[in-house]
Amino acid sequence: ERKEFEQKFTKEQGAMREQLQVHIQTIGILVSEKSELQTALSYTQQAARHKTAEAEDLSSRLQASKQRVSELERTLSSVSTQQKQFEKHNRELEKERDSLRLEVLRFSKVSEESRQQSSELSEQLKLRVNENNGLKQEVDELRKQLEMADSMLQQFSSQSGPPSGHQQVQLLLEEKHQLEAHAAQLMESVAQLQVERDQYAGQIQEEGRVWKDKTEQLLKEQEPQAVSQASGPSESELALQETISRLQEERDALSLQYQAQVRDNEQLSRLVQEQEVRLEELERQAERAAEEAQDRLQILEDVQSDKATISRALAQNRDLKDQLAELQNGFVKLTNENMELTSALQSEQHIKKEIARKIGQLQEDLHGAKEQVCLASVQEQRDQCLVHLQQYTAGYQQLVAEREHLHHQVLQQAQLMDRLQHDEVQGKVQLEQSHVQLQEAQVNTEHISQPAVKHTGAVQNIEHFLQLRSLTLFSDIKVTPQTGSDGVPVEVHEALRGAMEKLQERFTALMQEKVDLRERVEELEHRCIQLSGETDTIGEYIALYQNQRAIMKQRHYEKEQYINTLAKDKEEMKAKLAELQDLVMRLVGERNEWYSRYMSAVGNPDLLAAEDVSTASQSSTDPHTERPGSAPDGPSLRPTEDGTARQIMQLLQEIQNPQARPAPFLGENPCIPFFYRPDEQDEVKILVV
């Protein structure tokens, strides 16, 4: 029994030991769990303290966010007032822009009218040049021979009737006054264009300064707003994220509006710069137009002076043509008279030969009479000699009259040469005709000089015969020293000798006039050579003028091409701006939809508080999880709004980037400023400057 008791006791003791071991193990486990729980409790206490601190921090941040919200509301109200002011400024700027557009249209009309006037003047000038092209050579040559022309005009005015010349002078003076009045009107129009250009330039500069001041003022007013909007709430405020996100969206919208306004201001500044560049270009065009107008006025003045001289020259040419016809008739008469004179001279030479033969017979008879001297026969022979001498003196007087007639014809030929000299001015064809007439005149003078030479030979023969006859008479007087009516008196012989001396003097004067006439012919030939050289210089001037006119035509053609390219580019801009207007309308519709949703969300504060509590509980469990219910309106609209804005920016970049455009002729940095805003009917109107 004891052994059984010991066995039971040992069994129970073993079981108790096992239980003790189990309890020891459980105690160890409990102790370890207690230590773990203590550590967990410390951790939880620390977490609780941390959470309380975070709660206090969140409460302080909540207060700060509420203050921030109130400040944002105040700034929003101020921004709304500023936006209203800015819209008012925009309206004023639109009015100013419309007025500027009207002024630009008016100035373009004025420039177009001036261009049309200039084209009309150029056409008129072309017609005048075409009319006066063949007369410029005559004008220059007539200027050089003004003194001679004046003297000839006096002679021709004495021959032709003075009333017609006076009427032509009156007509020329009236035409000159009309041209001067037209030139004065052109100068007044040019001065008026310059005054309008100066006024337009001053107005553009003043408006540019006003726009620049307004943009600087708007930038200064919006800089603190940008700074206040940049310092937004932190991303760690998870409890107030829904409300703050909406405010952030509003702030983003305001910042987008601000950026759009800044871009508009930049575009305004670019517009001002472009307007200044265009104004400078218009000033240069106006200066070029003024210079061209001055050149045209100078050309018109030259044309007027040339026209006056040409009219005088034409009058002179008409008179000269009439006188040339008379001179040609005179030439015909002169040739006929020369033929008659030559026949008369031939008959006179034949008579002189007969006289010489008879004188020879008389000399033979005298010699025979000396041998067979008979006073009565000698007296009869002397009477016959006196009769022959009287006949000879009558023939001599007739020859003197014919010589004076020839001298008069030579003077007429000299006048004819002077008239032909004026006719040579009419051109190369008339110059050749004048050369032909000059040669004919030389031939006529030679024909006239040949009978004169023959006449001088005959006169010398007669003089020699008279000397021989006087010697014979003196010898007869010595042989038969009788006085009274039986011999030739000394007075008759002296008279004959004086007449011969006068005849010689007149003949030498005639030869001197012939020499002068030849010198005059040589001088005319020299002047013809000078006139041909001057015609060459006039041709060079005409070629230079044609080259300058070709350059002006080329510039006008380039200007027309530039205007055509501008018109094409304007059509492209209209298409792109129509597309831009559609995109802006879509963007405005999306913005209105987003604004309506925002106003509906703001009008339900209970829903807003419930969403705040739900978002706060969700953020306390998992701060890194996203809030699926926060700001449901914003993200749903942002992709479409971003897509529309991206399309608008891409289209603006296409419009404003000169390298991406097909026609890069507008300059290096072109810009197309535009303004958009919804009106009372939520319609957007885009105006292009």
Summarize pLDDT for 448-463 with one digit per residue, the tens: 445 444 545 554 555 5
* Model confidence at 329: pLDDT above 60: yes
At 257, is the pLDDT very low, low, confident or very high (cuts 50, 70, 90)? low
688 pairs with which residues across the strands? Answer: 674
| Phi-psi sector, 682: left (phi>0), alpha (psi -120 to 50), beta | left
10 Å Cβ neighbour count for 195?
A: 10
Q: Is pLDDT of 439 > 70?
A: no
Question: pLDDT at residue 613 above 50?
Answer: no
Burial of 251 (0-12, 13-18, 19+ CB in 10 A): buried
Q: Taking residues 38-60, report their average pLDDT.
A: 82
- In the prediction, which pLDDT does 651 show? 65
**What are the C-alpha distances in Å from 593 to residues 256, 379, 597, 637?**
17, 160, 6, 9
Q: Using the Cα atoms of residue 599, residue 600, residue 604 and residue 608 in order, give the sign of their dihedral.
A: negative
178 Cβ contact list (under 8 Å, min separation 6): none
Question: How confident is the model at residue 630, as a pLDDT?
Answer: 39
Residue 551 has pLDDT above 70, yes or no: yes
Residue 616 or 497, more confident: 497
pLDDT of residue 675: 46
Q: Given this model, what pLDDT does residue 642 score?
A: 57
Question: How far is 109 from 687, CA to CA, in rounded Å?
Answer: 21
User: pLDDT, tens digit, for every residue of 116-161?
Assistant: 776 676 676 677 656 656 555 655 565 565 566 456 555 555 544 4
More confident residue, 389 or 507: 507
Q: For position 121, what pLDDT does the model report?
A: 66
Give the residue, 671 or 170, on which the prediction is more confident.
170
Which pLDDT does position 462 carry in this prediction?
52
What is the rounded end-to-end Cα distance, in angstroms, of the chain?
Answer: 126
- Residue 105 confidence (pLDDT): 79
Choice between 44 and 162, residue whose per-residue pLDDT is larger: 44
Residue 468: the pLDDT is 60
Give residue 383's pLDDT.
65
Question: Is a pLDDT exceeding 60 seen at residue 534?
Answer: yes
Average pLDDT rounded to a whole number, residues 502-524: 77
Mean pLDDT of 594-618: 60
Q: Quick check: 415 pLDDT over 60?
A: yes
pTM: 0.22
- Between the CA atoms of 278, 284, 285 and 286, what dihedral angle is there, to the nearest 10 degrees? 110
Assign 162 a pLDDT band (cuts: 50, 70, 90).
very low
How much helix, strand and coil, in percent to the nearest 5, is found in the chain? 90, 0, 10
Average pLDDT of every residue of the chain = 65
Residue 664 pLDDT level (bands cut at 50, 70, 90): very low
Distance between CA atoms of 319 and 145, rounded to whole angstroms? 17
- Quick one: pLDDT at residue 479? 45
Largest CA distance in the chain: 255
Is pLDDT larger for residue 16 or for residue 56?
Answer: 56
pLDDT bin (cut points 50, 70, 90) of residue 498 is confident
Mean pLDDT of 69-82: 81
Residues 6 or more apart in contact with residue 503 via CB below 8 angstroms: 396, 400, 459
**Per-residue confidence (pLDDT) for residue 487, from 0 to 100:** 45
- If we measure between CA atoms, which residue out of 529, 535, 532, 142 comes closest to residue 317? 142
Burial class (CB within 10 angstroms; exposed 0-12, middle 13-18, buried 19+) of 243? buried
Highest mean pLDDT among 102-106, 221-225, 412-416: 102-106
* Residue 13 pLDDT exceeds 70: yes
Domain boundaries, given as residue ranges, for the chain: 320-543
Q: What is the DSSP letter of 372?
A: S
CA distance 148 to 668: 65
Confidence at residue 588, expressed as pLDDT on a 0 to 100 scale: 74
**% of the chain at pLDDT higher than 90:** 0
Higher pLDDT, 241 or 105: 105
pLDDT at position 314: 66
Is 70 exceeded by the pLDDT of residue 301? yes
The pLDDT of residue 486: 42
* Residue 307 backbone zone (phi > 0: left; psi -120 to 50: alpha; other: beta): alpha
**Per-residue confidence (pLDDT) for residue 639, from 0 to 100:** 47
Percent of the chain with pLDDT over 70: 38
Spatial separation of the C-alpha atoms in residues 511 and 450, rounded to whole Å:
11
